[in-house]
Amino acid sequence: MFSWLSREGPGKHEVYENVTEGLKNIYKSKLLPLEQYYHFHEFHSPQLEDPDFDAKPMILLVGQYSTGKTTFIKYLLERDFPGIRIGPEPTTDRFIAVMYDEKEGVIPGNALIVDPQKQFKPLTKFGNAFLNRFQCSTLKSEVLKGISIIDTPGILSGEKQRVDRGYDFTGVLEWFAERVDRIILLFDAHKLDISDEFRRSIEALRGHDDKIRIVLNKADMVDHQQLMRVYGALMWSLGKVLQTPEVARVYIGSFWDQPLRFDGNRRLFEDEEQDLFRDMRSLPRNAALRKLNDLIKRARLAKVHAHIISALRKDMPTMFGKDSRKKELIKNLGQIYDQIQREQQISPGDFPDLKKMQENLAHHDFMKFNQIRPKLLEVVDKMLSEDISKLMNMIPHEDMTTTSEPLIKGGAFEGVEDQESPFGYKKGEGIDAGSNEPEWIVMKLKHKYDTLFESLGPSDGKITGAAAKTEMIKSKLPNTILGKIWKLADVDRDGFLDSDEFALAMHLIKVKTDGYELPTELPSHLVPPSKRDI
Ligand code: MG
Ligand code: CA
């Protein structure tokens, strides 16, 4: 498709798909030949396959049973997924990867690990007992075009948890924790007890603290006072389990589609949901940046590796004494590192661990190593300097991800973006109040504001800034805010306020003192009717 033909240009999904395709291409055509030529895969990391690039950002849900993990997924997708089971008893008895596919269905674990399109092959090591408890649910959901979600078995408390699962549960959790982009820990505000097994599970997530977000779910089941108490208790418990509890953000809410039992905190829940969804929407961008960074790191290591291997080969004798020479070279590897560092101006941090490299080299035949081939290195250098930055530039700037087309669409993400119905976030409140009414909302109290206006002694229908100030500071708002209000209200920017502008200033003061944010620009519905043509 010719993207320049469509007025809107390529969509966000397309952009990320293009970045992914670009990464795959430069890896295969530019870096892989260098890796292969110098046996990189035998030393550092296996050859990258398509799923390593294609994998969508993944979110891992972890929590005790009945904290609403499965329901949370249903809430995000706004529909059931194949194989879903929800209930008060522990119902999810398996790991379920919820992923996008045109075709709906359930793929069992044993089939998943041989699927070359999926990234689950390494899970084979957890054995059959695990694979029988692992599945992929595929469905055609717009949300899943942007992310994949992993549902996990509810963790039991007390006696029941001692029933052996037959596989290394925390090991599996660790495997996922290492690979996902977000870990969401769910807690039930209405039943906050933290079992030993759950504590161990959280401990398995250590080292990934930056990925952890916490959801205090079912927060509508308790009243405000109880909620504050539960929140305190949760923070105290987390402090004991997480290494850095202060960085883990806690989102308080009720993530399902039922009426709120106590709706006193409705506003809080809405704010928290906005924040959580914004965080999730940042994942595709961050994942693309991470893949780019990983490839840069890999390319630098592959270059250093090429220098090491070719240096070793160069120093091998042509005829006799190969074995003793090899031993000598391994022993003196540190000096070889130093020499490469100096000659190639590579920082010491880019070199592989000396001891590991020495152990690894012992198993290799140095005569099979290749000599230096500058062309292969030049190609990688060019990849780093040109191709990578081109791909980097394709990734939309962070600011753009909030203002333009969202990265994750569909399901509950549409509701959170709602700009049309009166139930959209902060619709019809604060600065937005009156936006879909025919009358200028300031009119409602204009008679009151007009009386005030007259008392300030207008001349020629206008009052000065000094006169307005004596009235406006009665709001006790700080001067920075009042200055902002003044600028918003002086619509025609003549340095005076007429009665409409003054009424508008008083309206904005009310909006602010009611606890709402002020905009940087005056929304069109607040412009006085008398000023709409200028
Ligand atoms: Mg469940
Ligand atoms: Ca004015």
pLDDT the model gives residue 415: 80
159/301 same-domain check: no
Measure 52 CA to ligand 1 centroid, in angstroms: 28
459 band by pLDDT with thresholds 50, 70 and 90: very high
Same domain as 196, residue 161: yes
Going by pLDDT thresholds of 50, 70 and 90, the confidence category of residue 155 is: confident
Computed over every residue of the chain, the mean pLDDT equals: 88
pLDDT tier at 406 (50, 70, 90 boundaries)? low
- Boundary of a domain, candidates 281, 297, 317: 281
The predicted model scores a pTM of: 0.74
Joined together, the tokens standing for residue 180 give: 């996902």
In the numeric block, which tokens belong to residue 283?
Answer: 């994942």
Which residue(s) pair with 137 in the sheet?
98, 106
Q: Are residues 260 and 196 in the same domain?
A: yes
Residues 250 and 122 occupy one common structural domain: yes
Looking at all shown ligands, the one closest to residue 495's CA atom is 2
Is 520 within a domain? yes
- What CATH number corresponds to the domain at position 227? 3.40.50.300
**Ligand nearest to the Cα of 150, by number:** 1
Measured in Å, residue 423 CA sits from the centre of ligand 1 at: 29
pLDDT over 90 at 398, yes or no? no
What pLDDT, on the 0 to 100 scale, is given for residue 13?
62
The pLDDT of residue 534 is 59
CA of 186 to the centre of ligand 1 (A): 11
pLDDT at 5: 36
The Å distance, Cα 205 to ligand 1 centre, comes to 19
The CA-based angle 177-182-188, given to 5 degrees, is 95
List helix spans (H) across 421-464.
446-455
Do 63 and 147 reside in the same domain of the chain?
Answer: yes
In a domain, 42, yes or no: no
Domain containing 240 equals: 51-281
Q: Mark whether 385 and 272 lie in a shared domain.
A: no
How remote is the CA of residue 438 from the centroid of ligand 1, in Å? 48
What is the pLDDT, as a whole number, of residue 352?
94
Specify whether 104 is located in the same domain as 165.
yes
- Any domain includes 419: no
Of 240, 259, 281, the one marking the end of a domain is: 281
Question: Which residues lie below 8 Å from residue 169, measured CB to CB, with a gap of 6+?
Answer: 153, 201
Say yes or no to pLDDT of 399 above 80: no
Q: Which ligand gives the minimal distance to the CA of 96?
A: 1
Would you say residue 2 has pLDDT above 90? Answer: no
Do the domain assignments include residue 222? yes
Query: Looking at residue 10, which CATH number applies to its domain?
Result: 1.10.268.20
The CATH number linked to 487 is: 1.10.238.10
Tell me the ligand closest to 93's alpha carbon: 1
Distance 335 CA to ligand 1 centre (A): 56
Higher-confidence residue of 459 and 15: namely: 459
Number of domains in the chain: 3
* Per-residue pLDDT tens digits for 509-523: 999 998 888 998 999
377 and 436 fall within a common domain: no
Please write the tens of the pLDDT for every residue from 124-148.
999 999 999 999 999 999 999 999 9
Q: What tokens appear for 34 in the block?
A: 């260098």
Cβ atoms < 10 Å from Cβ of 49:
13
Q: Got the DSSP string for 476-524?
A: ---HHHHHHHHHHH-TT-SSSEEHHHHHHHHHHHHHHHTTPPPPSS--G
Residue 319 CB neighbours (<10 A): 5
Q: Are residues 324 and 190 in the same domain?
A: no
Reported confidence tier of residue 3, pLDDT bands at 50, 70, 90: very low
Domain termination site, one of 281, 310, 333: 281
Q: How confident is the model at residue 288 (pLDDT cuts 50, 70, 90)?
A: confident
Q: Find the ligand nearest to 528 CA.
A: 2
Residue 504 CA to ligand 2 center (angstroms) comes to 11
247 and 100 within one domain: yes
Ligand 2 centroid to residue 151 C-alpha, Å: 58
Which numbered ligand comes closest to the C-alpha of 61? 1
Distance 152 CA to ligand 1 centre (A): 7
Task: Tell me, yes or no, whether 32 and 101 share the same domain.
Answer: no
The verdict on residue 490 lying in a domain is yes
425 falls within a domain: no
The predicted-structure confidence for 210-236, as pLDDT tens digits, reads as follows: 899 999 999 999 999 999 999 999 988
CB 69 within 8 A of CB 186: yes
User: Residue 344: inside a domain, yes or no?
Assistant: yes
Q: Are residues 129 and 209 in the same domain?
A: yes
Distance 75 CA to ligand 1 centre (A): 13
pLDDT in tens, 359-397: 999 999 999 999 999 999 999 999 999 999 999 888 877
Q: Is residue 526 part of a domain?
A: yes
